Structure 1
């Protein structure tokens, strides 16, 4: 039978590993974070206009579990097999195109896409004490990291 706790545990482990991986960010030497976030939002909106969400309903195939033979003190019986619904899910068929349009728009504005490591708790705590964190950057520090805020914006932090 379909084991929901095992699937949930595997999903949480996968999501936890994804949250530890590098964070994709756009970077342009000389642009401050406010400008970068504004350009990113503008490109996302334009990409959404050109490739709107187009969800399609998909079905996983059903799974058949065959019957089993059980024996006890020489008496044997067979339990019948059964089918389990594979489930239904949705897929946004324009997601890949929308991502390409956003990346092209950002490239036309002079940005390049990088993957930076996620910031440690110490670097995130130091975020509040950074004076002028929206100042123009003279270059990306070698050990810079990124943090995604709750509003979806990404901030690049210098190493501690």
Structure 2
């Protein structure tokens, strides 16, 4: 694997591991049921709002800078910051996301953002993935595992 790809993957992992956990939440529901409901809603949304893949051209980005010589003569130069490129995107993705969100809301779920647990809470917590969505409070936080699973913790609760 190329060095730059390794760096990008590592940076992506670190960013997602530091970001809040975003899930569909319904107190008392099992995580397995929530996952099934989410998959069902995403498949239904894809049927209702199919992919519309489009391409766009992103122009190159240059940085202009000036070099001046001892004799007072100055010249402007350009440095390529980002080359021009074509990019593909799904024009229907935002609408499809709304349809999936509505489907989950119709089943009683709300979107929840749960902050990441601090290091001391993580160290003090026996690690086991959440199986049933617990009650949430302002103290609730989430621990992410490398497997992609997570644990919701409410410090101070026994």
Question: Are the aligned partners of 2:127 and 2:151 in contact in 1 as well (CA < 8 Å)?
Answer: no
Matched residue, 2:94: 96
* SS at 1:126 equivalent: coil
The root-mean-square deviation of aligned C-alpha atoms, in Å, is 4.1
Does residue 157 (structure 1) correspond to residue 152 (structure 2)? The answer is yes
- CA 119–96 in structure 1, closer or farther in 2 if over 3 Å, else same: same
Number of aligned residue pairs: give it.
146
| TM value normalised by structure 2 | 0.64
Unpaired stretches in structure 2, ≥5 consecutive residues: none
Aligned to 2:141: 145
Cα 1:124–1:114 change in 2 (3 A) is farther
Once the two structures are superposed, what CA deviation does each residue of 1:102-121 show, in whole Å capped at 9, x if it has no partner?
Answer: 10000000111111113456
**TM-score, normalised by the number of residues in structure 1:** 0.63
| Aligned partner of residue 127 in structure 2, secondary structure | helix
2:131 is equivalent to residue 134 of structure 1: yes
SS in 1 for 2:50: coil
Residues 33 and 108 of structure 1, relative CA distance in 2, 3 Å threshold? same
Contact 1:144 1:156 in 2 (8 A): no
Structure 1 unaligned spans of 5+: none
Structure 2 distance, partners of 1:81, 1:29, is: 57
Q: What is the alpha-carbon distance in structure 2 between the residues aligned to residue 65 and residue 81 of structure 1?
A: 6
Superposition map of 1:11-160 within 5 A: 16-17=14-15, 19-63=17-61, 71=69, 85-119=83-117, 122=122, 126-128=126-128, 133-135=130-132, 137=134, 139-147=135-143, 155-160=150-155
Q: Residue deviations 1:115-141, cap 9 Å, x none?
A: 11134562797333x7xx53574x334
Runs of 4+ in 1 over 4 A off after TM superposition: 12-19, 63-72, 76-85, 147-152
Q: Give 3-state SS (helix, strand or coil) of 1:48's partner.
A: helix
